[in-house]
Structure 1
Amino acid sequence: MTGGMSRRTALAAMTLAGAGWGAVFVAPELAPLAPALLLAMGRFVAFGAVSLPQARAVLRADVPWGRVVAHAVTGSLLYYALVALSVRLAGPTIAVATIGLVPVVMALLSNRRGTAGVWALLPALALVGVGQVLVHLTPVPGPGGWSAVVGTVLALVAVASWSWYGIDSHRLIAARPDLGPVLAGAQGLAAGVLALPVAIWLVATQGVPAEPVRALLVVLFLGLVSSWLAVRAWHAAAARLSPVLVSQLMALETAWGFVFAALLAGSVPGPVALLGEVALVAGVALAVVTDGHRERREARAYSAGEVGQPGGHADVERQESPHDHIARHGAPGSSASTARATRSAASLMRDERGSSAEECATASSSAHTSNPA
């Protein structure tokens, strides 16, 4: 997967990533006798293991390890630890509903061009928000009291943790498209190294879980599909789509989790939850359509010459008035003007060649991507 994929392929990749992450919500039910924390740590150890074949390519690349380790912590270990604690302290309804704020928070934080992008997506944001509320409206008994308060605070920290990861990983892959083939492997190796000591400690103190083969199969599935494949799909799609749209597509994680939970339970959810699922998916679809309109408007403006290049100001030099030109370069016909004109022409030719080369090098990876946050 590369940053030069088409928009349709990028949307499919993000849908795949959402499905992989949505499976995390039901995976513990497939191995109910294994501790949830051990499954989580085992998942990231497996993530590192399936990333080992890429180790040589990762080590040869100029990987910013500080940021990659931070991504492994905030997007993997810390995030899922906070989610697990929040579910235990506040109950699944409050915890998951709070985590559902991630698309809204990312949309607000990733819009550096002003509020226009968020205002355009406001109807989609509203549908996603209503969908999240309706999906989790049916209460599931929770501890209540101060335990619920602490659990809610931890869920909010989890929202901040994953939002920073999502935004910064998008920024990194947009600025360094050459890392696309190895970034998922690098994150997997970092997560595996960090999770391995914790997993060993859990097994040493709690023993091997009951039904170890079942637990191992779940861990391998989570490591391969919910981590390695989902992260690769996320990075590839993030290099092609705008950060505000990427934030809305994160709601697909909840949507897929809802579907998987219904399949596992073998029953159809109530009408309110179904309405919430429809609103959530409709909000994501509306966000895709709205962002598509924005891309087409920008493409038409670029083709018509209204902008010099996406996000640039190449037309400013062409708008210089004759008076300003004479003031800066001298009157036509003067020797100073002739010398300056010769130097300017040579410089302009170099600039144009450099600009064309730069546009060709970056068009396939980030012409449609703005740096978030």
Structure 2
Amino acid sequence: MIKSGVLLGAGAGACWGLVFLIPLVLSGFSPLEIASGRFLVYGSVSLLLLLPFLPRMARGLGIRDIGFLLALGASGNVLFYVFLASSIQKVGVAPAALVIGLVPVLVTILGRNDQGTVPLPQLVLPLAMLVVGMVCITVDTLQVAGSTANTLLDAILGLLFAAGALVSWSFYAVFNARALKANTVVSSQQWAYLTGMASGFWALVLALVIWGFQSPSTAGSTAGGETLDWQMFWLVSLGIGLVGSVLANGLWNGASRRLPMTLTAQVFAFEPLFALIYGFVFEARLPRPLEMAAVLLLISAMLWTVQKHSVAGKRERQQKQALTSPAS
């Protein structure tokens, strides 16, 4: 169960890591435009895939469930990606990815009382390693801002945007996992599609606000007057909507159903790890010393926590076996 959950989480992380490159590939577009394009695709595809099952599921979903899905779509998808894209366009992939790597800290704290979790005191050291990694990347980002064309203000704003993404996704991860474990009406994949439809609703609202108030003379160009490549925009949005949303969220929901909350938090670290790999390849450079230190701390903390959960799970199974074994 744990092994399959970790593998599903790794697959989701590999898909999600790609979304970190999109703000650089579509650098002429604003974070709001990029987020609306991605989630319009996700919402549309989710609706098409879910159409055959909607009548049956509608009977099992109440107003509270719909409101909950809308909240998840806003926090964990649209708002998260607006913050993330803003951060990446300010400071690049590596700093944003490593700040997002702190998701395990927040999720572990928020979900510490959920069933199957390892007691928080046992996770103090790996969580402390993640915090030290965060300090490393903050120092590195501010140092780079002082030695390049990037301003110190851009660096600070970029880190603040990344912190906003961190908070929004942490709340999403906790409440989404709880909902999946409590809901027996829909499958993990169907829940991903329902979340996609909710995200598509917010993306449509966002698109109407963005493009509805633009004049025809400025709708196809950047602030500097450069012509925008809308064909590239929609091709990239289609690709990332399918891979980074439909596929990734389905894999993640499968992992969330199989893993205890504190381990789900650590498995999320696959996303920033893959994002870092993709980012360094895209920028054609090796990590700087403080970036490398942060990466090593992130990997070590994740492996340490997985090991703790494996030991705890084995001990729990042995205790259950002892209780159910017939007395001799």
Relative to the length of structure 1, the TM-score reads: 0.72
Alignment of 1:28-177 (within 5 A): 28-51=23-46, 52-61=48-57, 62-63=60-61, 64-85=65-86, 98-112=99-113, 117-135=119-137, 137-139=139-141, 140-141=144-145, 143-144=151-152, 155-177=162-184
| Cα shift readout 1:153-192 (whole Å, capped 9, x = no counterpart) | 6654443322211111000111114422310110111111
Deviation at 1:59, TM superposition (A): 4.3
Instruction: Kindly indicate whether residue 279 of structure 2 is the aligned counterpart of residue 232 of structure 1.
Output: no
Task: Describe the superposition over 1:83-127 as per-residue Cα deviations: whole angstroms up to 9, x where unpaired.
Answer: 445567888887665444321011011011699622222232233
- Does the C-alpha gap of structure 1 residues 124 and 258 become closer, same or farther in structure 2, counting only changes over 3 Å? same
- Closer/same/farther in 2, CA of residues 277 and 91 from structure 1, 3 Å limit: closer
Which sits farther off after the overlay, 236-245 or 278-287? 278-287
- Residues paired across the two proteins, number: 301
User: Displacement, 1:252?
Assistant: 2.0
For residues 348-368 of structure 1, the C-alpha deviation after alignment (integer angstroms, 9 at most, x for no partner) is: xxxxxxxxxxxxxxxxxxxxx
Structure 1's unaligned 5+ residue stretches are 1-5, 308-373
Go from structure 1 to structure 2 and tell me whether the alpha carbon gap of 1:197 and 1:208 turns closer, same or farther (over 3 Å shift).
farther
Instruction: From the superposition, tell whether residues 13 and 136 of structure 1 become closer, same or farther in structure 2 (CA, over 3 Å).
Output: farther
Q: Distance in 1 between matches of 2:7 and 2:95?
A: 30
For each residue in 1:114-141, what CA deviation from the matched residue of structure 2 results, as whole angstroms up to 9, or x when unmatched?
A: 9962222223223333334435542242
Name the residue aligned to 2:224: none
Distance 1:284 1:44, change over 3 A: same
- How many angstroms apart in 2 are the aligned matches of 1:274 and 1:150? 23
| Greater RCO (CA < 8 Å, at least 6 residues apart) | 2
Instruction: Return the alpha-carbon distance in structure 2 between the equivalents of residues 279 and 231 of structure 1.
Output: 26
Deviation at 1:289, TM superposition (A): 1.2
Question: What is the CA-CA distance between 1:253 and the residue it aligns to?
Answer: 1.8
Are 1:279 and 2:297 counterparts?
A: yes
Q: Quote how far apart the aligned CAs of 1:8 are.
A: 1.9
Deviations 1:300-338 (A, max 9, x none): 00111189xxxxxxxxxxxxxxxxxxxxxxxxxxxxxxx
SS in 2 for 1:293: helix
Say which SS state the counterpart of residue 285 (structure 2) adopts.
coil
Same amino acid, percent of matched pairs: 28
Q: Which shifted more, 263-272 or 71-80?
A: 263-272
Note the residue ranges of structure 2 that are not aligned, 5 or more in a row. Answer: 222-227
Distance 1:208 1:49, change over 3 A: farther
256-265 or 23-32, which moves further after superposition?
23-32
Equivalent in the alignment of 1:197: 205
Instruction: Give TM-score, length-normalised by structure 2.
Output: 0.81
* Alpha-carbon distance, 1:277 to partner: 1.6
Bigger Rg over Cα? 1
CA, structure 1 residues 101+265, in 2 after alignment: closer, same or farther (shift >3 Å)? same
Residue 202 of structure 1 and its aligned partner are, at CA, apart by 2.9
